[in-house]
Structure 1
Amino acid sequence: MIDTHVHLDTRPMEDFELMAIAGITDVITLAHDPLRMSSDVVFRDHFDRLEEEKKRAGKQGIRVHLGLGLHPRTRPEDIDACEELLEGYLKRGCATAIGETGLETRDPFEVRLFQVQIELAKKYDLPIIAHTPRSSKVQITREIINVLSTFSIDPDRIVIDHADPDTVKLIIDRGYNAGLTVQPGKLSPAAAAEIVKNYDVSRLILNTDMSSNLTDVLGVPRTAHVMRLAGIDPVAIDAVCDKNARRVFKIKP
């Protein structure tokens, strides 16, 4: 199983053992906003810390892949330097994906930041993990799709994350992948299972967004268990817990 949206830098070592025991083999740990991300110096330290997470989780046999990006909640004062820094890491082949990027409020600063990262994803042939916020989710999901539609980019390389019952159809009808985040305050395992029952499973990917907030680090295997009890086809369970992520992010078994 793969958890495609985690923030390992916020979690203790014992969580990684639990994840491995439960069947998680791979994770994508993403850049986020653990501090006031004010400059390229802070981003450099953050990106370097994410690379170190490969060693920490690797001690429990979990393969760690990096998503590097500029989170929409960040407001660096030296945006050009931050963009140059991010590209430097991408040139080194450090990243499996751009992320997390996306929009939080739709203000012009965020839109520009998102557009720059879409260009980098195209340039370096990387998939994108796009954040959607808790509030105004439908409107901002529409705006993310509007921004993406101005670029010539394969929608199968895009995960629009933290989807909910109001946005899943909007996302997958345009050919994008919907990230189903199983986390307190977002989707419960039962709610995620209900979405899997009703939509094209080839466009659904489970994750936990584990962080310093309320988190179920076993959200992916727990949802797989709930889906098995609900009689969902094992092929569909495998798709949303593993195979779809391997396709989008080119992660080998």
Structure 2
Amino acid sequence: MRIFDPHIHMTSRTTDDYAAMSAAGVRALVEPSFWLGQPRTSVGSFVDYFDALIGWEPFRAAQFGIRHHCALALNPKEANDPRLREVLDLLPRYLEKDQVVAIGEIGYDSMTAEEDEALAAQLALAVEHHLPVLVHTPHRDKAAGTRRTLDVVRESGIDPALVVLDHLNEVTVAMVRDSGCWAGFSVYPDTKMDEPRMAAILAEYGLTGMLVNSAADWGNSDPLKTRKVGDTMLLAGFTEADVEQLLWENPVAFYGQSGRLDLSEPAVDATGLHEGNSVLRGGAPAPGAVR
């Protein structure tokens, strides 16, 4: 099974996770910007974070045979902090980097006026830079938040084919499908979406325009959920070609719109260094990275 995880926060994960993902079939991923669990207090902290997403994490992933791409943004939760508004001025120079294949996560957390402003500004950046957009739908009052998000997307003038609304469920999938945007689903151990529900949604709505991810942040999550969705699909009667479409072809099609995807297999080099730092130890390839 060949897997492209279109939304996973590897900054929160260990090298054991990378090894397990490689062994499960993950060959590529996109890591979107997100809230780190504790408020950042200055724009400088975003500079360091963005630099890690275009430098250190791609290096770390490559040691396990995985291509790492990223999406950059001022996330919805921190859009409410006036100390961080300058992040919007910082973004344009990062959006020119080869590893950046989208803008995200943007969207709503509490649906405030500040979040409105940040969402509209970053959709405008996406139009200017010809990049896809990964949109976070709020965890509270999801239906209303999704409808409001779709209104702002329409007002921005961006092509809906360049937009994925994520964290969807049975209540919101139809309105997103009708909008022409991509529909994204985060599969978690206890919340959001699980594998049997995901298979049922796919059986009802089909595979076109659908993205499934593990998100896998610092909370209770599982970086192998994409693989587990694929296994559940096969048990439910989907074909191997169906699984390939959902877990590889669809994310390649969506993020390929950036013109920046590199899906070549990275060389695993146990002696490699990034800024003087190594990931592997003892001069041996990482477990699970040799295929």
TM-score (norm 1): 0.96
**Distance in 2, Cα, partners of 1:85 & 1:160:** 24
Structure 2 counterparts to residues 146-161 of structure 1, below 5 A = 146-161=151-166
Q: 1:214 aligns with which of 210, 220, 227?
A: 220
TM-superposed deviation, 1:76: 3.6
Unaligned stretches of 5+ residues in structure 1: none
Write out per-residue CA displacement over residues 12-44 of structure 1, whole angstroms, 9 at most, x where no aligned residue: 101001001100111101111113133211111
Q: Distance in 2 between matches of 1:131 and 1:119?
A: 17
1:44 pairs with one of 43, 47, 57: 47
RMSD of aligned residue pairs (Cα, Å): 1.3
Q: Does the aligned pair in 2 maintain the 1:156–1:175 contact within 8 Å? A: yes
Superposed CA deviations along residues 66-103 of structure 1, whole A, max 9, x for unmatched, are: 11001100034245521111111113444111011111
Partner of 2:73: 69
Larger radius of gyration: 2
Question: In the TM superposition, what is the alpha-carbon distance from 1:49 to its structure 2 partner?
Answer: 2.0
Preserved CA contact (<8 Å) 2:27 2:67: yes
Answering whether residue 15 of structure 2 is matched by residue 13 of structure 1, we say yes
Tell me the secondary structure at the aligned position of residue 86 of structure 2. helix
> Residue deviations 1:86-131, cap 9 Å, x none?
1111134441110111111211100100111101111111000000
- Aligned residue type for 1:57: A
The number of aligned residues is 253
Q: Is the 8 A contact 1:23 1:221 kept in 2?
A: yes
Identity of aligned residues (%): 28
Do residues 111 (structure 1) and 116 (structure 2) align?
A: yes
Secondary structure of the residue aligned to 1:190 is helix
How far apart are the structure 1 equivalents of 2:232 and 2:218?
Answer: 25
What CA distance in whole angstroms lies between the structure 1 residues aligned with 2:241 and 2:183?
18
Compute the displacement of 1:237 (Å).
Answer: 2.0
What's the TM-score, normalizing by structure 2?
0.84
1:172-191 alignment, distance < 5 Å: 172-184=177-189, 185-191=191-197
1:2 corresponds to 2:4:
yes
Runs of 4+ in 1 over 4 A off after TM superposition: none
